[in-house]
Every structure is written in C-alpha cells, then in structure tokens.
Structure 1
C-alpha cells in the first residue's frame, strides 16, 4: 500500500505540474493572439475595437510619444479623439486611399507567477501613406512613410479574459519612403507631448521623461532576464554613446518603470 500510495501522490504531482504548464502555454497563446488582433484592428483604424481590448483596471494606461494616457478614459481619448479625427475624419474604420499597416512580430511573452498578469515584447514595422488619387481630398495630402518601434507591454486577466493593461510603445524611427531613415531631419518627427489634458483636449494625463527617436539608439530594456545566464543586461550597456566617447557622457538608460518629466 505504501508503494501504491507513493505512486498516486507522484501522479497527482505530475498532473498538477502538467496542468500548470498547459495553463501557461494557453495564456501565452491568448496574449499573442490579443496583441496580434490589436495590430489588425489598428491597421484599419477600428479604434473602438482597439479601446475595447484594454482592461477596466484603474492602473491601465498607454504611453505614446512622451505622454501617458491613464485609465480607460485616457485610452479612449488617444484612439477615439486624437487618432480617429486625424486619420479617418472621426469614423470608426478605414477611409479610402489611406494605408496604416502595423506588422506585429518577434513576440516574447512571459506569464508572471501570479498567473493573472504578464509581460510581452513585440516589434512593429509600419508602412503608411495616402494614395495619389486622394491627395486632393485627404488632409495629409500625398505622403508615404515607414516607422519602426518596440512594444514592452503588460497584460492582465480580467474575469478570465486577457486584456491589454499597460501598453508602452517606443517608436524607434520614422522615415519618408523617398529619403529613407538616414536622411530624416529631427524636426520632421512627430512632436513629443508637452501639455496635458484638459489644457490639451486630446493630450495625455502625464508627460513622461524618457524620450527617444533615431538617431538615438538606446535599448528599450527587456522585461526578461538572459535565458542562459539569468542576468539582466547592465544599464550602461543599454546606453548609446557617440563613437569613441565614454558611455558615462551619454544619455541615461531608458527604463520600463513609470516616470514623469521633471
């Protein structure tokens, strides 16, 4: 009986271990699908569908070009009140002749030990612009551009459903199709936010400290440790000094922590 009892206990332990592993893999798959669906909705300016992917949790926010949009209300302000009027004349959905494709790739997802929150890193490569046939009717005229960036996001499970909790988007670079990325002038970039809501009706709730755009090549910190050494990348190795210059004289490392501009 003792031997049989031990076998039963071992089997129960194995089943529990397998249950946890299956749950983890299922959660990772759901988060991957969630973020890929975010990209597909964003491609076609389905901004209401994008907003509905976000958690109702009061800690929810989006970080975008120097601003943090807090809670579901801030998220809606960014997508429905800023993006929709600028890109698609306020409608929910695409307009003829306007391209805004966000390919989501290189996904790395890690479920936290609590099983209710997770981190995800994704790369995006965007191709965007207007067709020449609409240059007289679309307010952006005739334009075509590229954009590359990295997401370091957090996700939360609400009522059994994974949702976007904290989306942090770092746009690395923008480039016109004609000139490419190496000829991009600093002044041509989308300006960073300096005024908050409600002074800025479609602005963020907070202006954040860390700002970067090409030719700045600092590393967006990794939410995960090295898979072999178990170590985090050193802060100084996340910085990007001028060629031949001391790293201590370069811009400080970026952080995934919540910051505010001084």
Structure 2
C-alpha cells in the first residue's frame, strides 16, 4: 500500500510540475502579446514597465544594444516617443503602427525562472493623408516583417521581458512592395549614447536587413532529432553559391552573467 501511495505522490508531483510549466509558457506568451498591444498604441511607459530591472536587461534593435532599464527607457520613451508621437505617451491622430505578435514558441528553463521565446511580427504602418503636413514623417505607408528571439525572467512571481532581440527582417513601401526596397531603407544605429542622446549603449557588428536572408538562430533544438541547425545552413549565399563564401551566420548574444559564469 505504501508503495502505491509513494507512486501516486510522484505522479501528482510530476503533474504539478507540468501544469506549472504550461502555465508559465502561457504567461510568457501573454506577456509578449501585451507588449505588442501596448506598442501598437505608442504606450511606451507601459512597454518599458514590462522589462526586468536586472542589470543584464537589454533591447537589441537595428544594430544597437540598449542596456539596463535606463537604456530600455531611452529607446522607447526617448527615441520612439519623440520620433512618432512628439514625446507623448499614447497614440496621435492619423498615425498607424500595428505590431501583431504571432507564431509564439516559448520554452521554460528547468528552474522555472527563465524562459526563451521566438515570435514573428508583421507590421503595417504609416500616416493618413490628413496629417501629411503636420507629422514629421509626412505622407508615408510601409510594411515590415521581423523575428524576435527573446529571453524572459520571473521576478517576485511575475514574468518580465529580460532581453528583447528584434531582427527587422524586411521593410517595404506599400506602393512597390519588398522587391524594390532601397538599400539602407532603415539606417542602422551609428552613434552611441551620449553622443546621440537617444542612442544605444553599444553598436553591434552583425546587423542585418533585407535582402539579407540569413536565419535568426533558433533558441530550441529540432523536436525530432534534438540537434541544432548547422551553421552553414543558417547562412544565405547567392543562388548556387558556396555557403562558406557568404556572410557568417548570425549569433545570438548572451547575458553578461552567463558569459562570466
């Protein structure tokens, strides 16, 4: 009888762990979706509050890394708010900036305190003709597609964004589409803070933009083979070209605490 009770206790413990893991996955997924909804309406203070206060917290975007919570605020409340909505927190009339968060794959670590997630965003953005003379962007409309490979952390029982790494994979004007995207359509970061008051703390070497189609590395292994994709298969050579002669594969950054450890 005691053996049966012990077996039942083990089963209950396993089920509890599984329920907790599934619950954590859903909470992280909801966190990323909420990020997208706040970002849609330029609610940059709310976006910044989704981030952890951990010293390794960061955002990687367009060839720059914004470090710590102060760096996060500098990007959203500084750079984005001033550029898109004249420094306010919230939308302005006639400006569209939708960021649907889709295809979310979330994995929780064995300790249940860290997670990694991969999401896709397909953004539509632009201005209405009624504000073309008052908004600094004038009359513009564009498409954007990007991949997130993010890390999350549980603080005091609440999941927060730890390290957001967004790769804006392609941009396109609404009129001509992605086949006619001009080179350097969205310029990479070129000046650091404080030279640029809203600039990143670091400039990254391995930025990418369409028509560069290298694979953003997957945080997870193949579900059937348990293996990572080969480095050469992450490259994007010209049609019929030798992969080894093309740009090197992208590499996802790690928290300083992991590098030091």
State if a TM-score over 0.5 links the two structures: yes
Q: Secondary structure of 1:221's partner?
A: coil
Equivalent of residue 196 in structure 2, options 195, 200, 223: 200
Deviation sequence 1:188-220 (CA, Å, 0-9, x none)? x11111221111110000111111111100000
Deviation sequence 1:130-179 (CA, Å, 0-9, x none)? 00111111111100000000000000000000000000000010100001
Q: Secondary structure of 1:186's partner?
A: coil
Moved more, 42-51 or 199-208: 199-208
Measured in 2, the distance between the counterparts of 1:246 and 1:140 equals 41
Measured in 1, the distance between the counterparts of 2:182 and 2:190 equals 20
1:231 maps to 227
Measured in 1, the distance between the counterparts of 2:240 and 2:254 equals 32
Residue pairs, 1:128-139, within 5 angstroms: 128-139=125-136
Measured in 1, the distance between the counterparts of 2:23 and 2:51 equals 20
Equivalent of residue 147 in structure 2, options 146, 150, 153: 150
Measured in 1, the distance between the counterparts of 2:186 and 2:194 equals 21
**1:258 CA displacement:** 4.5
Measured in 1, the distance between the counterparts of 2:5 and 2:45 equals 51
The runs of 5 or more residues in structure 1 that have no matched partner are: none
Runs of 4+ in 1 over 4 A off after TM superposition: none
Equivalent of residue 40 in structure 2, options 28, 36, 43: 43
Residue pairs, 1:73-152, within 5 angstroms: 73-152=70-149
The runs of 5 or more residues in structure 2 that have no matched partner are: 256-261
Aligned pair count reads: 255
1:212 maps to 208
Using the size of structure 2 for normalisation, the TM-score is 0.96
Measured in 2, the distance between the counterparts of 1:126 and 1:139 equals 20
2:240 maps to 244
Measured in 2, the distance between the counterparts of 1:258 and 1:33 equals 24
Measured in 2, the distance between the counterparts of 1:131 and 1:14 equals 58
1:176 maps to 173
**1:257 CA displacement:** 2.3
Measured in 1, the distance between the counterparts of 2:179 and 2:159 equals 39
Measured in 2, the distance between the counterparts of 1:211 and 1:53 equals 25
Measured in 1, the distance between the counterparts of 2:187 and 2:87 equals 21
Using the size of structure 1 for normalisation, the TM-score is 0.96
Measured in 2, the distance between the counterparts of 1:58 and 1:147 equals 30
2:51 maps to 54
Q: Secondary structure of 1:182's partner?
A: helix
Measured in 1, the distance between the counterparts of 2:68 and 2:56 equals 6
Equivalent of residue 160 in structure 2, options 159, 163, 174: 163
